[in-house]
Protein backbone atom coordinates (compact mmCIF):
# COMPACT_ATOMS: atom_id res chain seq x y z
CA UNK A 1 0.00 0.00 0.00
CA UNK A 2 2.79 2.46 0.88
CA UNK A 3 4.45 2.28 -2.52
CA UNK A 4 1.14 2.77 -4.31
CA UNK A 5 0.14 5.80 -2.20
CA UNK A 6 3.62 7.30 -2.52
CA UNK A 7 3.24 7.23 -6.30
CA UNK A 8 -0.45 8.22 -6.34
CA UNK A 9 -1.23 10.29 -3.19
CA UNK A 10 -4.81 10.90 -4.32
CA UNK A 11 -5.89 7.30 -3.70
CA UNK A 12 -5.50 7.88 0.04
CA UNK A 13 -8.78 9.80 -0.09
CA UNK A 14 -10.56 6.68 -1.36
CA UNK A 15 -9.49 4.34 1.48
CA UNK A 16 -12.07 3.11 3.96
CA UNK A 17 -11.44 3.53 7.68
CA UNK A 18 -10.40 -0.12 7.93
CA UNK A 19 -7.97 0.30 5.05
CA UNK A 20 -6.52 3.41 6.67
CA UNK A 21 -5.99 1.49 9.92
CA UNK A 22 -4.24 -1.31 8.03
CA UNK A 23 -2.17 1.29 6.22
CA UNK A 24 -1.15 2.85 9.55
CA UNK A 25 0.09 -0.55 10.77
CA UNK A 26 2.10 -1.02 7.57
CA UNK A 27 3.71 2.40 7.94
CA UNK A 28 4.57 1.72 11.58
CA UNK A 29 6.33 -1.51 10.70
CA UNK A 30 8.37 0.17 7.96
CA UNK A 31 9.43 2.97 10.32
CA UNK A 32 10.45 0.44 13.00
CA UNK A 33 12.42 -1.63 10.48
CA UNK A 34 14.22 1.39 9.05
CA UNK A 35 15.08 3.07 12.36
CA UNK A 36 16.30 -0.25 13.79
CA UNK A 37 18.99 -0.19 11.07
CA UNK A 38 19.75 3.52 10.70
CA UNK A 39 18.82 4.97 14.07
CA UNK A 40 16.52 7.97 14.37
CA UNK A 41 13.54 9.41 16.22
CA UNK A 42 11.28 6.42 16.77
CA UNK A 43 8.93 7.28 19.65
CA UNK A 44 7.65 10.55 18.22
CA UNK A 45 7.17 9.16 14.71
CA UNK A 46 5.18 6.15 15.87
CA UNK A 47 2.93 8.56 17.77
CA UNK A 48 1.80 10.64 14.77
CA UNK A 49 1.05 8.02 12.10
CA UNK A 50 -2.76 8.37 12.28
CA UNK A 51 -2.56 12.15 12.54
CA UNK A 52 -0.36 12.39 9.44
CA UNK A 53 -2.60 10.05 7.46
CA UNK A 54 -5.65 12.08 8.45
CA UNK A 55 -4.05 15.40 7.49
CA UNK A 56 -3.07 14.05 4.08
CA UNK A 57 -6.58 12.61 3.67
CA UNK A 58 -8.56 15.73 4.62
CA UNK A 59 -6.33 18.42 3.13
CA UNK A 60 -4.89 18.84 -0.35
CA UNK A 61 -1.10 18.91 0.02
CA UNK A 62 -0.21 20.98 -1.97
CA UNK A 63 -1.62 23.67 -2.15
CA UNK A 64 -2.30 23.14 1.57
CA UNK A 65 0.87 23.13 3.65
CA UNK A 66 1.97 21.39 6.87
CA UNK A 67 4.74 22.82 9.02
CA UNK A 68 6.18 20.38 11.53
CA UNK A 69 7.57 21.97 14.68
CA UNK A 70 11.05 20.57 15.32
CA UNK A 71 10.41 18.26 12.36
CA UNK A 72 11.74 15.02 13.80
CA UNK A 73 8.23 13.49 13.60
CA UNK A 74 7.96 13.78 9.79
CA UNK A 75 8.74 10.17 8.69
CA UNK A 76 5.13 9.28 7.81
CA UNK A 77 4.81 12.56 5.93
CA UNK A 78 7.92 11.71 3.90
CA UNK A 79 6.46 8.32 3.01
CA UNK A 80 3.21 9.90 1.87
CA UNK A 81 5.05 12.63 0.00
CA UNK A 82 6.85 10.53 -2.60
CA UNK A 83 9.88 9.21 -0.73
CA UNK A 84 9.01 5.58 -0.13
CA UNK A 85 11.74 4.23 -2.45
CA UNK A 86 14.41 6.37 -0.78
CA UNK A 87 13.24 5.67 2.77
CA UNK A 88 15.92 2.99 3.44
CA UNK A 89 18.52 5.80 3.07
CA UNK A 90 17.02 7.73 6.00
CA UNK A 91 19.70 9.64 7.97
CA UNK A 92 22.58 8.32 5.86
CA UNK A 93 25.13 10.30 3.87
CA UNK A 94 23.44 11.69 0.73
CA UNK A 95 20.21 9.94 1.81
CA UNK A 96 16.91 11.27 3.15
CA UNK A 97 17.28 13.58 6.11
CA UNK A 98 15.58 12.84 9.40
CA UNK A 99 13.91 16.25 9.28
CA UNK A 100 11.80 18.19 6.75
CA UNK A 101 13.84 19.24 3.74
CA UNK A 102 12.45 21.37 0.87
CA UNK A 103 15.40 20.16 -1.24
CA UNK A 104 13.90 16.66 -1.10
CA UNK A 105 10.30 17.67 -1.84
CA UNK A 106 8.30 20.91 -2.06
CA UNK A 107 5.79 19.45 0.43
CA UNK A 108 8.44 20.01 3.12
CA UNK A 109 8.05 23.74 3.68
CA UNK A 110 10.95 24.63 5.96
CA UNK A 111 14.18 22.87 6.86
CA UNK A 112 13.74 22.54 10.61
CA UNK A 113 15.25 20.86 13.67
CA UNK A 114 14.72 23.24 16.59
CA UNK A 115 11.53 23.55 18.63
CA UNK A 116 9.10 26.44 18.89
CA UNK A 117 9.31 27.87 15.37
CA UNK A 118 6.19 26.44 13.67
CA UNK A 119 3.50 28.86 14.88
CA UNK A 120 5.45 31.99 13.92
CA UNK A 121 6.61 30.67 10.55
CA UNK A 122 3.13 29.34 9.72
CA UNK A 123 1.57 32.71 10.59
CA UNK A 124 4.04 34.50 8.34
CA UNK A 125 3.45 32.01 5.55
CA UNK A 126 -0.32 32.46 5.76
CA UNK A 127 -0.14 36.26 5.74
CA UNK A 128 2.29 36.15 2.83
CA UNK A 129 -0.09 33.93 0.87
CA UNK A 130 -2.95 36.34 1.57
CA UNK A 131 -0.92 39.29 0.28
CA UNK A 132 -0.14 37.36 -2.91
CA UNK A 133 -3.73 36.08 -3.16
CA UNK A 134 -2.50 32.48 -3.17
CA UNK A 135 -4.82 29.69 -2.09
CA UNK A 136 -3.98 26.97 0.36
CA UNK A 137 -4.52 26.30 4.03
CA UNK A 138 -1.62 26.31 6.49
CA UNK A 139 -1.36 23.76 9.29
CA UNK A 140 1.22 23.87 12.08
CA UNK A 141 1.83 20.66 14.05
CA UNK A 142 3.39 21.33 17.43
CA UNK A 143 4.16 19.04 20.37
CA UNK A 144 3.40 19.58 24.03
CA UNK A 145 7.14 20.11 24.53
CA UNK A 146 6.93 23.19 22.32
CA UNK A 147 4.59 24.76 24.85
CA UNK A 148 7.57 25.19 27.17
CA UNK A 149 9.19 27.38 24.52
CA UNK A 150 8.65 31.12 24.70
CA UNK A 151 8.75 31.55 20.93
CA UNK A 152 5.66 29.37 20.61
CA UNK A 153 3.71 31.64 22.94
CA UNK A 154 4.95 34.76 21.17
CA UNK A 155 3.58 33.26 17.96
CA UNK A 156 0.27 32.23 19.52
CA UNK A 157 -0.23 35.66 21.06
CA UNK A 158 0.44 37.40 17.77
CA UNK A 159 -1.72 34.99 15.76
CA UNK A 160 -4.64 35.48 18.14
CA UNK A 161 -4.37 39.25 17.82
CA UNK A 162 -4.54 38.99 14.03
CA UNK A 163 -7.41 36.52 13.91
CA UNK A 164 -6.02 34.94 10.73
CA UNK A 165 -7.24 31.55 9.53
CA UNK A 166 -4.66 28.99 10.64
CA UNK A 167 -4.89 25.48 12.03
CA UNK A 168 -2.59 24.44 14.85
CA UNK A 169 -2.51 20.79 15.89
CA UNK A 170 -1.28 20.33 19.46
CA UNK A 171 0.09 16.80 19.62
CA UNK A 172 0.04 16.01 23.32
CA UNK A 173 1.76 12.79 24.32
CA UNK A 174 2.25 13.67 27.98
CA UNK A 175 -1.43 13.85 28.93
CA UNK A 176 -3.58 10.81 29.52
CA UNK A 177 -7.20 10.63 28.42
CA UNK A 178 -9.71 8.27 29.99
CA UNK A 179 -12.26 6.46 27.78
CA UNK A 180 -15.21 8.34 29.30
CA UNK A 181 -13.62 11.72 29.11
CA UNK A 182 -12.29 10.96 25.64
CA UNK A 183 -15.69 9.95 24.30
CA UNK A 184 -17.41 12.99 25.82
CA UNK A 185 -14.74 15.30 24.49
CA UNK A 186 -15.00 13.80 21.00
CA UNK A 187 -18.77 14.15 20.77
CA UNK A 188 -18.81 17.65 22.20
CA UNK A 189 -15.94 18.67 19.93
CA UNK A 190 -17.77 17.19 16.95
CA UNK A 191 -20.86 19.17 17.91
CA UNK A 192 -19.00 22.41 18.51
CA UNK A 193 -17.00 22.10 15.26
CA UNK A 194 -19.98 21.23 13.07
CA UNK A 195 -20.25 23.40 9.94
CA UNK A 196 -23.67 24.66 11.05
CA UNK A 197 -22.37 26.08 14.33
CA UNK A 198 -19.26 27.44 12.64
CA UNK A 199 -20.85 29.45 9.91
CA UNK A 200 -19.76 33.09 9.97
CA UNK A 201 -21.25 34.49 13.17
CA UNK A 202 -23.47 37.02 11.44
CA UNK A 203 -24.92 34.35 9.14
CA UNK A 204 -25.43 31.92 12.02
CA UNK A 205 -27.17 34.56 14.13
CA UNK A 206 -29.51 35.47 11.30
CA UNK A 207 -30.53 31.83 10.76
CA UNK A 208 -31.20 31.19 14.44
CA UNK A 209 -33.04 34.46 15.00
CA UNK A 210 -35.58 33.48 12.35
CA UNK A 211 -36.82 30.58 14.49
CA UNK A 212 -40.21 31.87 15.74
CA UNK A 213 -40.45 32.63 19.43
CA UNK A 214 -37.19 31.03 20.57
CA UNK A 215 -34.42 32.15 18.25
CA UNK A 216 -32.70 34.44 20.76
CA UNK A 217 -32.84 31.80 23.50
CA UNK A 218 -31.33 29.11 21.27
CA UNK A 219 -28.54 31.43 20.22
CA UNK A 220 -27.72 32.20 23.83
CA UNK A 221 -27.90 28.51 24.74
CA UNK A 222 -25.52 27.49 21.92
CA UNK A 223 -22.92 30.03 23.00
CA UNK A 224 -23.30 28.98 26.63
CA UNK A 225 -22.94 25.28 25.73
CA UNK A 226 -19.69 25.87 23.90
CA UNK A 227 -18.26 27.98 26.70
CA UNK A 228 -19.30 25.69 29.55
CA UNK A 229 -18.26 22.50 27.73
CA UNK A 230 -14.79 23.86 27.34
CA UNK A 231 -14.52 24.92 30.95
CA UNK A 232 -15.87 21.55 32.03
CA UNK A 233 -13.67 19.08 30.21
CA UNK A 234 -10.80 20.73 28.37
CA UNK A 235 -7.72 22.81 29.19
CA UNK A 236 -8.51 25.17 26.34
CA UNK A 237 -9.58 28.34 28.12
CA UNK A 238 -6.05 29.70 28.02
CA UNK A 239 -5.90 29.39 24.23
CA UNK A 240 -9.33 30.95 23.88
CA UNK A 241 -8.10 33.94 25.87
CA UNK A 242 -5.26 34.31 23.37
CA UNK A 243 -7.83 34.58 20.59
CA UNK A 244 -7.76 31.02 19.25
CA UNK A 245 -10.72 28.69 18.84
CA UNK A 246 -9.87 25.62 20.92
CA UNK A 247 -11.22 22.11 20.23
CA UNK A 248 -10.46 18.79 21.87
CA UNK A 249 -8.82 16.92 23.33
CA UNK A 250 -9.52 13.93 21.07
CA UNK A 251 -7.85 10.57 20.55
CA UNK A 252 -4.98 11.08 18.12
CA UNK A 253 -4.94 7.39 17.20
CA UNK A 254 -8.62 7.16 16.27
CA UNK A 255 -8.71 7.82 12.53
CA UNK A 256 -12.50 8.18 12.37
CA UNK A 257 -12.49 10.84 15.08
CA UNK A 258 -9.59 12.69 13.47
CA UNK A 259 -11.27 12.72 10.07
CA UNK A 260 -14.58 13.91 11.52
CA UNK A 261 -13.07 16.79 13.45
CA UNK A 262 -10.55 17.87 10.82
CA UNK A 263 -13.31 17.90 8.19
CA UNK A 264 -15.47 20.05 10.45
CA UNK A 265 -12.82 22.63 11.31
CA UNK A 266 -11.01 22.96 7.99
CA UNK A 267 -13.33 25.75 6.82
CA UNK A 268 -13.32 27.83 10.02
CA UNK A 269 -11.97 31.26 9.06
CA UNK A 270 -10.28 31.92 12.39
CA UNK A 271 -7.16 30.63 14.14
CA UNK A 272 -7.98 27.17 15.48
CA UNK A 273 -6.08 24.91 17.88
CA UNK A 274 -7.00 21.23 17.85
CA UNK A 275 -5.72 19.30 20.86
CA UNK A 276 -5.03 15.61 20.25
CA UNK A 277 -3.76 12.97 22.65
CA UNK A 278 -1.21 10.45 21.36
CA UNK A 279 1.10 7.83 22.79
CA UNK A 280 4.83 7.95 22.15
CA UNK A 281 6.13 4.75 20.62
CA UNK A 282 2.61 3.61 19.66
CA UNK A 283 2.66 0.10 18.20
CA UNK A 284 6.12 -0.97 19.38
CA UNK A 285 6.10 -2.32 22.93
CA UNK A 286 9.63 -1.36 23.89
CA UNK A 287 9.18 2.22 22.64
CA UNK A 288 5.87 2.53 24.50
CA UNK A 289 7.50 1.30 27.73
CA UNK A 290 10.74 3.32 27.28
CA UNK A 291 9.81 6.30 25.09
CA UNK A 292 12.80 8.37 26.19
CA UNK A 293 15.23 5.62 25.16
CA UNK A 294 13.69 5.59 21.70
CA UNK A 295 13.28 9.35 21.35
CA UNK A 296 16.55 9.58 19.43
CA UNK A 297 18.02 6.12 19.20
CA UNK A 298 20.85 4.37 17.47
CA UNK A 299 20.29 1.04 15.69
CA UNK A 300 18.53 -1.55 17.85
CA UNK A 301 17.38 -5.16 17.95
CA UNK A 302 13.67 -5.20 17.11
CA UNK A 303 13.00 -8.44 18.99
CA UNK A 304 14.61 -7.36 22.28
CA UNK A 305 14.51 -3.56 22.08
CA UNK A 306 18.21 -3.48 23.01
CA UNK A 307 20.18 -0.58 21.58
CA UNK A 308 23.23 -1.72 19.61
CA UNK A 309 26.70 -0.35 20.34
CA UNK A 310 26.10 2.04 23.26
CA UNK A 311 28.62 0.72 25.79
CA UNK A 312 31.29 3.37 25.15
CA UNK A 313 31.51 6.06 27.83
CA UNK A 314 31.07 9.46 26.19
CA UNK A 315 32.57 12.77 27.22
CA UNK A 316 29.09 13.90 28.28
CA UNK A 317 28.62 10.84 30.47
CA UNK A 318 31.95 11.54 32.20
CA UNK A 319 30.97 15.20 32.69
CA UNK A 320 27.75 14.07 34.38
CA UNK A 321 29.66 11.78 36.75
CA UNK A 322 32.05 14.57 37.65
CA UNK A 323 29.11 16.84 38.49
CA UNK A 324 27.72 14.17 40.80
CA UNK A 325 31.03 14.05 42.67
CA UNK A 326 31.14 17.83 42.95
CA UNK A 327 27.55 17.99 44.20
CA UNK A 328 28.34 15.36 46.83
CA UNK A 329 31.06 17.60 48.25
CA UNK A 330 29.44 21.01 47.74
CA UNK A 331 25.79 21.75 48.51
CA UNK A 332 25.84 24.85 46.30
CA UNK A 333 26.34 22.89 43.08
CA UNK A 334 23.25 22.85 40.86
CA UNK A 335 22.75 21.45 37.35
CA UNK A 336 20.43 22.86 34.68
CA UNK A 337 19.34 21.55 31.31
CA UNK A 338 16.71 22.34 28.68
CA UNK A 339 14.89 19.03 28.08
CA UNK A 340 18.09 17.04 27.50
CA UNK A 341 18.65 15.19 30.78
CA UNK A 342 19.33 11.80 29.23
CA UNK A 343 21.41 12.96 26.27
CA UNK A 344 23.70 14.99 28.52
CA UNK A 345 24.51 12.26 31.04
CA UNK A 346 22.58 13.92 33.88
CA UNK A 347 20.27 11.05 34.83
CA UNK A 348 22.44 10.09 37.79
CA UNK A 349 22.62 13.68 39.04
CA UNK A 350 18.84 14.06 38.74
CA UNK A 351 18.23 10.91 40.81
CA UNK A 352 20.81 11.66 43.49
CA UNK A 353 20.15 15.40 43.86
CA UNK A 354 16.59 16.06 42.60
CA UNK A 355 16.28 19.29 44.58
CA UNK A 356 19.40 20.65 42.84
CA UNK A 357 18.54 19.52 39.34
CA UNK A 358 16.40 21.68 37.05
CA UNK A 359 15.09 20.59 33.66
CA UNK A 360 13.35 23.72 32.38
CA UNK A 361 11.95 22.14 29.21
CA UNK A 362 12.62 23.41 25.70
CA UNK A 363 13.30 26.91 27.00
CA UNK A 364 16.99 27.57 26.44
CA UNK A 365 16.80 31.35 26.87
CA UNK A 366 14.94 30.99 30.16
CA UNK A 367 17.47 28.39 31.27
CA UNK A 368 20.37 30.83 30.91
CA UNK A 369 18.65 33.72 32.68
CA UNK A 370 17.44 31.37 35.42
CA UNK A 371 21.08 30.28 35.80
CA UNK A 372 22.05 33.93 36.19
CA UNK A 373 19.64 34.33 39.08
CA UNK A 374 20.94 31.20 40.80
CA UNK A 375 24.54 32.35 40.38
CA UNK A 376 23.73 35.82 41.70
CA UNK A 377 22.26 34.19 44.79
CA UNK A 378 25.56 32.38 45.38
CA UNK A 379 24.98 28.94 43.87
CA UNK A 380 27.60 27.21 41.70
CA UNK A 381 25.68 26.71 38.48
CA UNK A 382 26.43 24.22 35.70
CA UNK A 383 24.33 24.49 32.53
CA UNK A 384 24.53 21.40 30.32
CA UNK A 385 23.42 22.09 26.76
CA UNK A 386 24.01 21.01 23.17
CA UNK A 387 26.11 23.39 21.09
CA UNK A 388 23.36 23.80 18.50
CA UNK A 389 20.86 24.88 21.16
CA UNK A 390 23.35 27.25 22.79
CA UNK A 391 23.00 29.29 19.58
CA UNK A 392 19.47 30.19 20.70
CA UNK A 393 20.81 31.99 23.79
CA UNK A 394 23.26 34.56 22.48
CA UNK A 395 21.52 37.57 24.01
CA UNK A 396 21.03 35.87 27.38
CA UNK A 397 24.73 34.94 27.43
CA UNK A 398 25.65 38.55 26.64
CA UNK A 399 23.12 40.38 28.82
CA UNK A 400 22.48 38.06 31.76
CA UNK A 401 25.77 36.20 32.15
CA UNK A 402 28.79 38.03 30.70
CA UNK A 403 27.64 41.59 31.38
CA UNK A 404 26.98 40.59 35.00
CA UNK A 405 30.34 38.70 35.20
CA UNK A 406 28.62 35.66 36.69
CA UNK A 407 30.74 32.49 37.03
CA UNK A 408 28.24 30.11 35.40
CA UNK A 409 29.84 27.01 33.86
CA UNK A 410 28.44 25.81 30.52
CA UNK A 411 29.01 22.19 29.56
CA UNK A 412 28.64 22.42 25.78
CA UNK A 413 28.01 18.90 24.48
CA UNK A 414 27.76 17.86 20.80
CA UNK A 415 30.36 20.44 19.81
CA UNK A 416 31.52 19.70 16.27
CA UNK A 417 30.00 17.26 13.80
CA UNK A 418 27.25 15.14 15.37
CA UNK A 419 26.61 12.84 12.42
CA UNK A 420 23.23 11.69 11.15
CA UNK A 421 21.07 14.52 12.54
CA UNK A 422 22.67 16.90 10.06
CA UNK A 423 22.92 20.68 9.71
CA UNK A 424 20.34 21.65 12.33
CA UNK A 425 22.27 19.73 15.00
CA UNK A 426 25.95 20.05 14.15
CA UNK A 427 27.73 22.25 16.72
CA UNK A 428 30.01 24.20 14.40
CA UNK A 429 29.60 27.82 15.43
CA UNK A 430 29.99 28.08 19.21
CA UNK A 431 33.69 29.03 19.21
CA UNK A 432 33.02 31.77 16.67
CA UNK A 433 30.04 33.44 18.30
CA UNK A 434 31.36 33.06 21.86
CA UNK A 435 34.71 34.65 20.95
CA UNK A 436 32.91 37.92 20.22
CA UNK A 437 31.86 38.39 23.85
CA UNK A 438 34.05 39.77 26.65
CA UNK A 439 34.35 38.45 30.21
CA UNK A 440 34.16 34.74 29.34
CA UNK A 441 36.50 31.79 28.96
CA UNK A 442 36.31 29.05 26.32
CA UNK A 443 37.83 25.64 27.03
CA UNK A 444 38.24 22.79 24.56
CA UNK A 445 39.33 19.64 26.43
CA UNK A 446 41.31 17.25 24.25
CA UNK A 447 41.17 14.11 26.42
CA UNK A 448 39.01 12.54 29.12
CA UNK A 449 41.73 13.32 31.66
CA UNK A 450 41.85 16.92 30.47
CA UNK A 451 38.04 17.22 30.58
CA UNK A 452 37.99 16.15 34.20
CA UNK A 453 40.78 18.59 35.08
CA UNK A 454 38.98 21.53 33.44
CA UNK A 455 35.59 20.81 35.05
CA UNK A 456 37.12 20.42 38.50
CA UNK A 457 39.04 23.69 38.14
CA UNK A 458 35.92 25.49 36.92
CA UNK A 459 34.64 25.39 40.50
CA UNK A 460 37.11 28.18 41.30
CA UNK A 461 36.57 30.26 38.16
CA UNK A 462 35.26 33.80 38.58
CA UNK A 463 34.27 34.22 34.94
CA UNK A 464 31.64 32.53 32.80
CA UNK A 465 33.19 29.36 31.41
CA UNK A 466 32.25 27.39 28.31
CA UNK A 467 33.63 23.86 28.10
CA UNK A 468 32.97 22.32 24.67
CA UNK A 469 33.35 18.63 23.84
CA UNK A 470 32.14 16.23 21.12
CA UNK A 471 29.26 13.77 21.11
CA UNK A 472 31.42 10.68 21.54
CA UNK A 473 34.46 9.80 23.56
CA UNK A 474 37.73 11.69 23.78
CA UNK A 475 41.03 9.80 24.06
CA UNK A 476 42.01 9.00 27.63
CA UNK A 477 45.22 11.06 27.52
CA UNK A 478 47.22 13.14 25.03
CA UNK A 479 50.69 14.62 25.44
CA UNK A 480 52.44 17.26 23.30
CA UNK A 481 55.27 16.22 21.01
CA UNK A 482 58.16 18.61 20.36
CA UNK A 483 60.32 17.30 17.55
CA UNK A 484 63.89 18.50 17.05
CA UNK A 485 64.57 20.56 13.95
CA UNK A 486 60.85 21.15 13.58
CA UNK A 487 59.93 24.54 12.19
CA UNK A 488 56.22 23.77 12.04
CA UNK A 489 53.78 23.25 14.90
CA UNK A 490 50.30 21.79 14.64
CA UNK A 491 47.93 23.21 17.24
CA UNK A 492 45.20 20.59 17.71
CA UNK A 493 42.16 22.23 19.28
CA UNK A 494 40.00 20.06 21.54
CA UNK A 495 38.50 17.10 19.69
CA UNK A 496 40.94 17.61 16.80
CA UNK A 497 44.01 17.11 18.99
CA UNK A 498 43.92 13.34 18.48
CA UNK A 499 43.77 13.61 14.68
CA UNK A 500 46.41 16.37 14.66
CA UNK A 501 48.76 14.13 16.64
CA UNK A 502 48.24 11.32 14.13
CA UNK A 503 48.84 13.75 11.26
CA UNK A 504 52.15 14.80 12.79
CA UNK A 505 53.13 11.11 13.02
CA UNK A 506 52.26 10.62 9.34
CA UNK A 507 54.45 13.58 8.37
CA UNK A 508 57.31 12.39 10.62
CA UNK A 509 57.35 9.03 8.80
CA UNK A 510 57.63 10.93 5.51
CA UNK A 511 60.64 12.87 6.78
CA UNK A 512 58.80 16.06 7.67
CA UNK A 513 59.39 16.91 11.34
CA UNK A 514 56.31 18.61 12.78
CA UNK A 515 55.68 19.38 16.43
CA UNK A 516 52.27 18.85 17.98
CA UNK A 517 50.68 20.95 20.72
CA UNK A 518 47.21 20.11 22.10
CA UNK A 519 45.07 23.15 22.86
CA UNK A 520 42.48 23.19 25.65
CA UNK A 521 41.82 26.92 25.97
CA UNK A 522 40.81 29.35 23.24
CA UNK A 523 39.84 32.45 25.20
CA UNK A 524 41.93 33.85 26.68
CA UNK A 525 44.67 31.96 24.89
CA UNK A 526 47.15 30.20 27.12
CA UNK A 527 50.26 32.32 27.81
CA UNK A 528 52.60 29.31 27.73
CA UNK A 529 51.15 28.23 24.37
CA UNK A 530 51.68 31.72 22.94
CA UNK A 531 55.34 31.63 23.95
CA UNK A 532 55.74 28.24 22.27
CA UNK A 533 54.12 29.51 19.09
CA UNK A 534 56.87 32.13 18.81
CA UNK A 535 59.48 29.35 18.53
CA UNK A 536 58.17 28.11 15.17
CA UNK A 537 58.25 29.55 11.66
CA UNK A 538 54.87 28.19 10.62
CA UNK A 539 51.72 27.43 12.60
CA UNK A 540 48.90 25.06 11.65
CA UNK A 541 45.61 25.30 13.54
CA UNK A 542 43.09 22.45 13.42
CA UNK A 543 39.55 22.75 14.81
CA UNK A 544 36.12 21.09 14.55
CA UNK A 545 34.39 24.43 14.09
CA UNK A 546 33.68 26.72 11.17
CA UNK A 547 36.84 28.33 9.90
CA UNK A 548 35.18 31.75 10.11
CA UNK A 549 36.02 33.43 13.40
CA UNK A 550 37.16 30.24 15.11
CA UNK A 551 40.35 29.14 16.88
CA UNK A 552 42.48 29.70 13.79
CA UNK A 553 41.23 33.25 13.57
CA UNK A 554 42.25 33.81 17.20
CA UNK A 555 45.79 32.65 16.45
CA UNK A 556 45.89 34.75 13.28
CA UNK A 557 44.79 37.81 15.24
CA UNK A 558 47.48 37.22 17.87
CA UNK A 559 50.29 36.78 15.35
CA UNK A 560 49.10 39.78 13.30
CA UNK A 561 51.05 38.78 10.20
CA UNK A 562 54.29 37.86 11.98
CA UNK A 563 54.12 34.21 10.89
CA UNK A 564 52.50 32.09 8.24
CA UNK A 565 49.35 30.39 9.55
CA UNK A 566 47.48 27.52 7.91
CA UNK A 567 43.94 27.30 9.31
CA UNK A 568 42.26 23.91 8.96
CA UNK A 569 38.63 23.60 9.95
CA UNK A 570 35.16 23.29 8.51
CA UNK A 571 34.15 25.50 5.57
CA UNK A 572 31.79 28.45 5.73
CA UNK A 573 28.72 26.42 4.80
CA UNK A 574 26.10 24.18 6.38
CA UNK A 575 27.43 20.64 6.70
CA UNK A 576 25.22 17.76 5.58
CA UNK A 577 24.36 14.60 7.52
CA UNK A 578 26.55 11.52 7.61
CA UNK A 579 28.81 9.56 9.92
CA UNK A 580 31.26 11.85 11.72
CA UNK A 581 34.33 10.00 10.43
CA UNK A 582 33.05 10.20 6.86
CA UNK A 583 32.36 13.94 7.07
CA UNK A 584 35.70 14.68 8.73
CA UNK A 585 37.41 12.83 5.91
CA UNK A 586 35.38 14.69 3.26
CA UNK A 587 36.33 18.08 4.67
CA UNK A 588 40.01 17.28 5.17
CA UNK A 589 39.95 16.80 8.95
CA UNK A 590 41.03 13.16 9.07
CA UNK A 591 44.70 12.57 10.02
CA UNK A 592 45.50 11.89 6.37
CA UNK A 593 43.57 14.97 5.25
CA UNK A 594 45.37 17.23 7.73
CA UNK A 595 48.77 15.85 6.68
CA UNK A 596 47.88 16.31 3.01
CA UNK A 597 46.93 19.98 3.48
CA UNK A 598 50.19 20.66 5.30
CA UNK A 599 52.23 19.00 2.53
CA UNK A 600 50.44 21.08 -0.12
CA UNK A 601 51.36 24.29 1.72
CA UNK A 602 54.97 23.17 2.19
CA UNK A 603 55.23 22.21 -1.46
CA UNK A 604 53.85 25.58 -2.51
CA UNK A 605 56.33 27.38 -0.26
CA UNK A 606 59.29 25.41 -1.64
CA UNK A 607 58.30 26.39 -5.19
CA UNK A 608 58.27 30.10 -4.37
Distance CA(426)–CA(570), nearest Å, equals 11
Nearest to 189 by CA among 259, 277, 232, 249: 249
Tell me how far CA of residue 474 lies from CA of 313, 477, 552, 577, 590, in angstroms. Answer: 9, 8, 21, 21, 15
Those residues with Cβ within 8 angstroms of residue 152's Cβ, 6 or more apart along the chain or in another chain: 69, 115, 116, 118, 119, 142, 146
Which positions are catalytic?
Answer: 280, 364, 392
Query: First CA to last CA across the chain, in angstroms?
Result: 66
Q: How many CA atoms lie within 13 A of 21 on its CB side?
A: 8
Strand partners, 412: 385, 468
Q: Which DSSP string do the residues of 75-136 spell out, in sequence order?
A: HHHHHHTT-TTTGGGTTSTTS--SS--TTT-TT--S---STT-HHHHHHHHHHHHHHTT---
Buried b (16+ CB within 10 A) or exposed e, 122-159: bbebbeebeeeeeeebbbbbbbbbbbbbebbbebbebb
Distance CA(241)–CA(264), nearest Å, equals 22
Please provide residue 536's backbone torsions phi and psi, each rounded to the nearest 5 degrees. Answer: -115, 155
Cβ atoms of 142 and 169 within 8 Å: the answer is yes
Amino acid sequence: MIEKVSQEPGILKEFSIKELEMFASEIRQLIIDTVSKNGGHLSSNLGVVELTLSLHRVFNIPPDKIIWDVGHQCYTHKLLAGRYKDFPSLRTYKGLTGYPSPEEDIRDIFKTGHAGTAVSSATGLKIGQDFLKEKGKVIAVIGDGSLTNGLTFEGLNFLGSLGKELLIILNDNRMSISPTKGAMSYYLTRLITSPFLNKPKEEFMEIVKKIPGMGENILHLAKDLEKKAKYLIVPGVFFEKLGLRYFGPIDGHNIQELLDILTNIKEIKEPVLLHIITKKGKGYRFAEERPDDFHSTGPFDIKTGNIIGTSEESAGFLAGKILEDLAEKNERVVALTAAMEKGLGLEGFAKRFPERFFDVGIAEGHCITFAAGLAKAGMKVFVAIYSTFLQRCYDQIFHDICLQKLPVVFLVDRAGIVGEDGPTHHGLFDISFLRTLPELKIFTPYSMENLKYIILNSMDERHPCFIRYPKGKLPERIEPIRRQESKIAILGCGSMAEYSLKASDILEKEGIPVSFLPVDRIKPMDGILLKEIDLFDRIVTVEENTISGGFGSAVLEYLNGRKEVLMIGLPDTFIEQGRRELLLEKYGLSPEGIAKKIKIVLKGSSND
